[in-house]
Amino acid sequence: MKFSISFVALVSTALFAVVHAAPAPMCNGELCSEVAARDLSDVAFDDLAVRASKAKAPAKAPAKASKKSSGSQKANISQGILNAQKKQGNRVEAQKKKTATNKKHVQQNGAKIKADVNAARDKAKAKGKPLTPAQVEKKKTGAASRVISQKQKDNKQAKKTKLAAAKKTPEQKKDRKAAQTARRADRKKTGTPAPANAVSTKQKVSKQQKHAVKQRFQSAKDKLGKTQGLPGRKSTVAVGKEKTDGRAVRQAAFNTHLHSKTPIGRNPINKQPKQFNNRPYDKAHKDASLRGKKPLPQNGKEYPIKNNSPNGYTGQGSVGALRTVTYKKGGQNHVKVLGHDASRGTDPNDHYVGKREFDLDFEDFE
């Protein structure tokens, strides 16, 4: 069906007139569209106000209960401290061993070192510039260093040769691969996990526990720095015939602070540090100045002294006869060395404070 353009234009004009001629709907004398828009804005404003009031006064979260370290956590931290001390001790022992080996090697090559020094002296003398004693010592040190360096190179080359000799041949590699394939097939049949995927029985140390270990060391260091009565490292402290050096005393005092929260030792009833038995001397003691008095003015914690040890007593092994006792007086930590001395009294279990034999050590004036 076809319509002419004039007919379509006529219909469009009529519809336009009808739409614009019709009055807009009214609601109580106002346009319904305006009323609806105002009501909608009021509702939206009320909803925003309610949300804002809720945001201003958020519900209080329940207070979290403070977590205390469990027994397993304390045990892990204590073991972490002991592991760290073991590594420190291993490094010190390895350095001592290296120093002793180098010294022995220099002694074995003394003739070669002497010959090198004499050759250098003769050469300088021939030029009319003889070596001074200081230059001779420098030549000796240089010759000894070259001997040690050459020994290290020889050891390295010997190790390379040994590894090359132990290298598997292509046939051995093939046999090894076949054996690995057979073992893998057996594990698949039995459901056994591979060694690399087996569940480890070793308890992992978390980042928090590592941080706690580090904090323990730092705290012990700070407390040791504020402890009164520490001898210099080269000083000697004696109780009767028993003697120790200042370094061992300092290490024992440090360990007292380090292990105070989790005492160490294999014997459950004798873990260190432990409470010191500060019992008074007998009233009939042959030293009148000690009768009825206690060895120390305050009770404290004792810790065994271990001589010639890089990190002191760490829960195992034998220890010496002397102890450090750390106690508080006037708000400060003090340390004393105590031990038994049967020559001074009738009771062999009496404790006596060690006497310090002063050496010329600048640490005594710290």
- Report pLDDT digits (tens) over 236-284: 999 999 999 999 999 999 999 999 999 999 888 889 999 999 999 999 8
Name the pLDDT band for 342 (thresholds 50, 70, 90): confident
What is the structure's pLDDT at 4? Answer: 52
By percentage, how much of the chain surpasses pLDDT 70? 77
What is the structure's pLDDT at 292? Answer: 92
The DSSP element (H or E) to which 134 belongs, if any, is: helix 133-165
Please tell me the distance from the alpha carbon of residue 192 to that of residue 184, in angstroms, as a whole number. Answer: 9
pLDDT at residue 16 is higher than 70: no
CA distances from 185 to 177, 192, 268, 278 (A): 12, 10, 48, 68
Please tell me the distance from the alpha carbon of residue 311 to that of residue 86, in angstroms, as a whole number. Answer: 8
What is the structure's pLDDT at 36? Answer: 47
Long-range contacts of 209-217 (CB under 8 A, 24+ apart): 209/73, 209/76, 209/77, 209/80, 210/80, 212/77, 212/80, 213/77, 213/80, 213/81, 213/84, 216/77, 216/81, 216/258, 216/261, 217/81, 217/84, 217/258
What is the structure's pLDDT at 35? Answer: 46
Strand partners, 274: 302
Q: Do 237 and 246 meet the contact criterion of CB atoms below 8 Å apart?
A: yes
What is the structure's pLDDT at 18? Answer: 44
By percentage, how much of the chain surpasses pLDDT 90? 57
Q: For the residues 60-76, what does the mean pLDDT come to?
A: 61
The b-or-e profile of 147-178 (16+ CB within 10 A means b, else e) is bbeebeeeeeeeeeeeeeeeeeeeeeeeeeee
pLDDT at residue 74 is higher than 90: no
**Is the whole model's pTM more than 0.95, yes or no?**
no
Q: Do 280 and 292 meet the contact criterion of CB atoms below 8 Å apart?
A: yes
Total H helices, total E strands in the chain: 8, 10
Name the pLDDT band for 22 (thresholds 50, 70, 90): very low
Q: For the residues 57-63, what does the mean pLDDT come to?
A: 51
Helix axes 246-258, 207-225, angle to 10 degrees: 130
Mean pLDDT in the chain? 82
Please tell me the distance from the alpha carbon of residue 42 to that of residue 48, in angstroms, as a whole number. Answer: 10
Name the pLDDT band for 6 (thresholds 50, 70, 90): low
Q: Do 292 and 63 meet the contact criterion of CB atoms below 8 Å apart?
A: no
Among 207, 318, 205, 309, which Cα is nearest to 254's?
A: 309
pLDDT at residue 293 is higher than 60: yes
Least confident of 6-10, 98-102, 203-207, 307-311: 6-10
What is the structure's pLDDT at 250? Answer: 96
Name the pLDDT band for 209 (thresholds 50, 70, 90): confident
Please tell me the distance from the alpha carbon of residue 193 to that of residue 198, in angstroms, as a whole number. Answer: 6
Name the pLDDT band for 193 (thresholds 50, 70, 90): confident
What is the structure's pLDDT at 345? Answer: 75
Name the pLDDT band for 151 (thresholds 50, 70, 90): very high
Q: For the residues 23-35, what does the mean pLDDT come to?
A: 49
55's tokens = 């945001």
